[in-house]
Chain A
Amino acid sequence: MATETNQETGKLEFFLDVPFPSSGEATVALRSLSPDREPRRGGISKRLSVSGSTLSVRWSADEARVLRVSVNSFLDHLSLVVETMELFGPPVDL
């Protein structure tokens, strides 16, 4: 995890990398966590991606307060997805 201010855009940026046991499971998490839009609040955007078996999230925000809310919210959601995967996983092979 890291927070920085992008010198060019002046926006705050936050990076989060979450390791998963496999790329399949990282992808399950990605597809569960990406559909919902940020609640109507300008000045925040996030992007999710999977590389290998790591889920990466990149935030860009105007204000620290807005960034904090979004990151906290995401971590709650992530922990729910992970707990669901622990209880009902692993993914079936199709």
Chain B
Amino acid sequence: MTVVIGFEGSANKIGIGIIRDGEVLSNPRRTYITPPGQGFMPSDTARHHRAVILTVLKEALEQAGLKPADIDCVAYTKGPGMGAPLVTVALVARTVAQLWGKPLLGVNHCIGHIEMGRLITQANNPTVLYVSGGNTQVIAYLERRYRIFGETIDIAVGNCLDRFARVIKISNDPSPGYNIEQMAKKGSRYVELPYTVKGMDVSFSGILSFIEEAANKMLSSGQCTAEDLCFSLQETVFAMLVEITERAMAHCGSQEVLIVGGVGCNLRLQEMMGVMCKERGAKLFATDERFCIDNGAMIAQAGWEMFRSGYVTELEDSWITQRYRTDEVEVTWRD
């Protein structure tokens, strides 16, 4: 029996989760939500996490019904992500690991998402689309590495959506992407936007510039509604993601797709991916908002796999890093 506690706080969510042999015992989380029109800055986010982290830690232990002695390993997000919030969380993880006399394990955030997706959906060997506010990658497992087959060459798809939400000043509660999704359902007019797939990769910063300008011009002249723009943006960026996922699947001969990351909650994206999968006779896997959105249990799960295959992080090596490629980690727990 192996029990791992995982600490996650690389963006505006702070979550701590406990996993025992594939069972999620607890997974409390708090989100730092900014007023409409504003994004979240590193030092404010770190301040938010610092204010709540010890309370969330107590909740994680209480909800799991465990004492520190019951924990086998303390896992935390080493990177990638925002520096100040990552440090705040790592400090607590390092401290409790020492106080409790438990080994520490630095986890790659992207691999946390993948391992949680694999656990929850039981997908065998899927092509993974990892889409969030900070990351957009198409990943497939091959020979001990999660290889990046395609990715954004500039900003993440979630970042594009979040920044567009700021322009039209919609609420960030519970998340800007969720509110864009609800507004898109009421859109009826398709506004043509640039479609930028570049081979295996995608680009979103041009689309963002275009739609920011379109919003200013078209909304004031009444040519379309904000709902129409939300609808058009989703249709465009999601079609791009489906295309590069399909390209990777064809490359790998894969019959499974797993969507992870906060943007993976979006039901329209799941629907569009589902259509492509059906055409190819492939199966689509996705998780719900408990596990799509950044959470502590996903770090615990990746930590569980890593710990059991012999990984440990020495304290001197436990520094956080804002840049951490998914393929930098040797995936020793899979053949």
Contacts and interface: CB of A to CB of B under 8 A. Distances in A.
A64 interface: no
Interface string B65-97: 000100000000000000100011011101110
Most chain A C-beta atoms within 10 Å of own C-beta, residue among B92, B96, B99, B315: B99
Interface residues of A, number: 24
Contact of A84 (B54, B87, B319): B54
B91 A80 contact: yes
Interface string A17-53: 0000000000011011111110100000000000000
Most chain A C-beta atoms within 10 Å of own C-beta, residue among B95, B101, B317, B320: B95
A84 B50 contact: no
Contacts of A76: 50
A4 interface: no
Contact of B319 (A36, A80, A85, A92): A36
B100 A88 contact: yes
Contacts of A29: 95
Interface string A82-94: 0111011111101
A36 B100 contact: no
A12 interface: no
Interface residues of B, number: 25
Most chain B C-beta atoms within 10 Å of own C-beta, residue among A80, A81, A87: A80
Contacts, number: 66
B279 interface: no
A84 B91 contact: yes
A89 B100 CA distance: 8
A33 to B, nearest CB: 7
A37 B318 CA distance: 11
A94 B101 contact: yes
A33 B94 CA distance: 9
Contacts of B58: 87
B122 to A, nearest CB: 35
A91 B100 CA distance: 6
B87 A81 contact: no
Contacts of B95: 28-29, 32, 81, 84-85, 88
A80 B99 contact: no
B55 to A, nearest CB: 10
Given A32-B95, A91-B101, A80 B50 contact: yes
A92 B100 contact: yes
A28 B318 contact: no
Contact of A31 (B68, B83, B315): B315
Interface of A: 28-29, 31-37, 39, 76-77, 80-81, 83-85, 87-92, 94
7 contacts: A28-B99, A32-B91, A32-B94, A32-B98, A36-B90, A84-B91, A88-B96
Interface of B: 50, 53-54, 57-58, 68, 83, 87-88, 90-92, 94-96, 98-101, 315-320
Given A31-B94, A35-B316, A88-B99, 10 more contacts: A28-B99, A31-B315, A32-B91, A33-B91, A35-B94, A77-B88, A77-B91, A81-B92, A84-B92, A92-B100
